[in-house]
Structures are given as C-alpha cells and as structure tokens.
Structure 1
Amino acid sequence: MSPSPNGTIERTPDGGIVRFDRSLAFPIDEVWASITEPARLADWWPPFTADITVDLREGGKIVFDWPETDFPTLEFVIVRLAAPTLLEHTHTSPGSWMRWELEATADGTRLRATYFIPDLDMAIERGDLVGLHHSLDRLAPALAGNPVAWDNDAFIELRDAYAELSPTEPQT
C-alpha cells in the first residue's frame, strides 16, 4: 500500500483502528525528534498552546498541559519504544493506544500512525480522526522549520469530508 494523507477507519470486534500512512521528505531522526521532543511536538500536534513533557522510556509519560485553556491534562504512558522507529503509548480513553512507526526511505521517512480506540463512534464524533489528520498535515511544515497554527476552517473541512466515510466492518 502506498502512503496517503487520508486516514482509514476499520471497525474491529474490540472497537476500531484509525490508520495514517504519510511520506515525509525529512530524515528519520528529524521525524523521530518531532514526535518525541516536547518543543517539536508543540509545533504540530496540539490544537492550542501546550506545556509538554516527555519521559522517553518504556513506562515514561507524555504529558500535555494546557496553560491557556480549561482542558484536562492529558497523560499517555509509553508502552513500547525502539528509537528511532517505534513509539507506542496509551491514549485518552481507557484501553486506547497510539503507535508511531517510522521507516527510513530513499526520499526521507515513511510514518505510519495507528490509533486504536474501544469506542470508535465516540472517537469519530469527538473529532479524534479529523484532529489527528489535521495535526499530521501540520507536521511537514513544522519539520521544514515553518510551523503553521491550528486552522479551525481546515479542521471543519476535514470533518465534513470524513463524515462521508463509513468505517469498514471487522474482518471475520
């Protein structure tokens, strides 16, 4: 399967999986730094200003605190780590997880982001898929040294486009 900017949604017996596959024209070490270093994460992942800490070890935490907004602190626990190719951590809902897989290519890096969520419909409704897509759209400019701000209009456009997708049913 060749990389695509669009996510895929798959229903599973235990919930659902959202997958993104992106080609980035940057070396693997740069992409790794952008998903593991707090200042670099802040350039592209969160929708608003965040104080981010990362204890980069299995059992360590990735913490997003929101000093300018009334939003709960997010804490993810790192469950698998193999620098610079694999980072897996828990996510916001109980039982959910996020996996970042990096592969060096002739043109840069292939990034595969996989998000498992027990309640897929809730994740779609609250915008997890759209938010991750929009954040990943902001990753390449951040890697190029030109971070772009969160764009609510772009988020709404993506939300409308994804609303037309129907998740595939579980494979039996």
Structure 2
Amino acid sequence: MDVVRHGVLTRLGELWTLRYERELGRPPEEVWAALTQAEQLGQWFPSGVKGEWAVGAPLEFTFGGQELPPMPGTVLQVREPRVLEYLWGPDTLKFDLTVGGAGTRLELLVTLEELGKAARDGAGWHECLDLLETHLDGGRLWRPGERWGELAPVYVAAFGPDAATVAPPEGWTVPEDEPV
C-alpha cells in the first residue's frame, strides 16, 4: 500500500476530511512523544498547546509571535501510544499510529468544517507532517509556514477552486528572525 504523503480530500456527509499517511522510522512510543510532549510539539505543530492529554480535557492552542487569538480545543480520544484525537478549533485531528514499515505508520485524518479551507489547511498539515518527520529523523528544521507557499498551489490544483476560497487567517505570518 502506497503512503499518502499529499493529503487526500474526501466528502463525509456535510463535512470534509483530509487524510495523510507517513512511514516514520521510529517506534510508536517515540512518535507518540512527538505528538504529546510540549517541547517536541514546538518543533513541528503550528501552535503551542496548553492542557492535559485526557479524554474530555480542554486544550488551548496559542500562536506565539502571531497576531492571532488563542483557539479552543477538547481531547476526544487517547489510547497511548496508538490513537490521539482532539478538536483543534472547529476541526478534528485524529492521529492513528500502527507498527509498520521501518517503524511506525502514522495516519492523520483532519475533519474540516468547510470545504473552502481544504487547500489552505491541506498544505499546512502537509508541511507540519514534513516537519514532524524531519524532527524525528534529527534533520535540520525550518520555520513553520516557510514551505507552505510552495505547497499551497499544489493543493489548490488538486482540490479545485471551491476548496481554496478561504485565505490564511488575518495576522498569520511566517516568523523571520526566530531561531529554529
């Protein structure tokens, strides 16, 4: 089975899903730590995360250095080290980890509340997963958002104009002088 590096967009009733797969050369426990530990999330996730990884616990996503307000979330499912699911604002993120390949097969399923942001978010989550993979491999990281501009046109072309009606949030910028 081929790994789905680029997001695949699917309609799910009134909602839309983006699905990605990555083969990561680390055991599930190491990938789990990268998904749940603040210092590791800071290497690849698009926001800071405050809260406890317990079902029903509230989360707060902060965007340091950006002119964006915090975004709420809620933990929906935790089955360490296999499944992590939570609300990220109005969207749902579900990470499934299985042993496979050279280590762990990660599947990310993003459920979107609206089609118009699918290309924007598709490129963003693609870049986040690239950063996660690079972080786990000990490679040189780049600033989050730095490669989004390269990926966005690919997602617009793949998903079509109806999936590209929502621009990045006002106040969103790529940090220029922050150390990586």
TM-score (norm 2): 0.81
Over the matched positions of the two proteins, sequence identity in percent amounts to 24
Contact 2:41 2:48 in 1 (8 A): no
Q: Which residue of 2 is the match for residue 65 of structure 1? A: 62
Give 4+ residue runs of structure 1 displaced > 6 Å after superposition. none
Deviation at 1:104, TM superposition (A): 1.4
Distance 1:15 1:52, change over 3 A: closer
Q: Which residue of 2 aligns with 1:91?
A: 88
Q: Which has the higher contact order (CA 8 A, sep 6+)?
A: 1
Task: Structure 2: state its 5+ residue gaps.
Answer: 161-180
CA RMSD of aligned residues (A): 1.9
Q: Which residue of 2 aligns with 1:81?
A: 78
- 2:96 matches 1:101: yes
Equivalent residue number for residue 33 of structure 1: 33
| Paired residue type of 1:5 | R
Structure 1: gaps of 5 or more residues: 168-172
TM superposition shift of 1:13? 2.2
Aligned partner of 2:92: which letter?
Answer: W
- Report the CA distance between 1:117 and its aligned residue: 1.4
2:38 pairs with 1:4: no
What residue is the counterpart of 1:134 in the other structure?
A: 127
Amino acid at match of 1:115: V
Paired letter, 1:55 = E
Per-residue deviation at 1:92? 1.8
Q: Deviations over 1:84-115 (max 9, x none)?
A: 0001111222xx31110000125100000001
Q: Which moved more, 1:130-139 or 1:98-107?
A: 98-107
Q: Which residue of 2 aligns with 1:112?
A: 107
Residue matched to 2:168:
none
Q: Name the counterpart of 1:159.
A: 152
1:124 is the counterpart of 2:118: yes
TM-score between the two structures when normalised by the length of structure 1: 0.84
Report if the CA contact (8 A) 2:23-2:101 is conserved: no
Cα distance in 2, alignment partners of residues 149 and 40 from structure 1: 14
Q: Does residue 145 of the first structure (1) align with residue 145 of the second (2)?
A: no
Query: Would the aligned equivalents of 1:7 and 1:129 in 2 still touch at CA under 8 Å?
Result: yes
Aligned residue pairs total 160
The offset of 1:149, in angstroms, is 2.1
Q: Deviations over 1:53-89 (max 9, x none)?
A: 2401101233222332211112221011100000111
